[in-house]
Copies of this chain bind each other. A is one copy, B any other.
Amino acid sequence: MAHPLYQTVIDTVVARIASGELLPGGMLPSETQLAAEIGVSQGTARKALMMLEHHGIVRREQGRGTFVTARTPESSLFNFFRLRERDGAIVRPELISEHVTRRAANEVESRDLHGGPDMVIEISRVRSLNGVPSAIESAVVPADLFSGIERRAPLPSALYVVYQQAYGCIVLRAEESIVAVPASREEANELDVAEATPLLKVERLAYDVLGRAIERRRSLYRTDTLAYMVTLD
């Protein structure tokens, strides 16, 4: 079976989400309706919806319905911001400064990002965690996918909410590469630490629901009181 029926159901739903026909937070047709629309049995539609739930694309609630995953500041924080108190408690990052610039993409950005863009928009910010300046962050997105985002400044703390609500890009997955580096003079200044203090450098490539690499992000974290937490399985 080259193309299972449930896959066509999945493709249909994803296409409707990507096209904007189904909005984040919006309700999908019921299992029965969806099955009838596409011409499969209710069990097959059900299987597709369960797989979509497993991929984080929809959320199902007994007695209520099936809804397109909405990237809220909370869920965004929980899933994609892995810095935690040493006991695992969530920290609320606040913005100290923000600079948004439109510029030519460098080689790496053009190679990694979807569409091999010539122009990108860079969002550079410094964050404070628990009142301590703790993170320097630079997010780079293709200018064509996110045109005009530079005019939305100041941007909210959770960028992925903007990507979704203003540009229809639902970030579902990210790959990160983590190393320890000494703070440069400028970095030390911004983070209020001694030069050469060990920092976590996290480089991230974020992918949306269509599997497109839509953001390249580079973060530097102080880890004197906080830690990067992750679960492996």
B-contacting residues of A (Cβ < 8 Å)? 54, 56, 79-80, 82, 84, 86, 172-182, 196-200, 221, 223, 226-233
Listed A/B pairs (25) with beta-carbon separation below 8 Å: A54-B54, A56-B233, A79-B232, A80-B232, A82-B232, A172-B233, A173-B233, A174-B232, A175-B229, A175-B231, A176-B230, A176-B232, A177-B229, A178-B178, A178-B223, A178-B230, A179-B223, A180-B180, A180-B199, A181-B223, A182-B197, A182-B198, A198-B199, A200-B200, A230-B232
How many copies of the chain does the oligomer comprise?
2
Identify the interface centre among A80, A84, A175: most chain B CB within 10 Å of its CB. A175
Given A179-B223, A180-B180, A223-B179 in contact, is the A231-B174 Cβ separation under 8 Å? yes
6 A-B pairs closest in CB distance = A198-B198, A179-B223, A180-B198, A180-B180, A178-B228, A177-B227
The majority secondary structure among interface residues of chain A is: strand
Write out the residue numbers on chain B whose beta carbons fall within 8 Å of the beta carbon of A199: 180, 198
Bound Cα distance from A20 to B87, whole angstroms:
35
Write out the residue numbers on chain B whose beta carbons fall within 8 Å of the beta carbon of A232: 79-80, 82, 173-176, 230
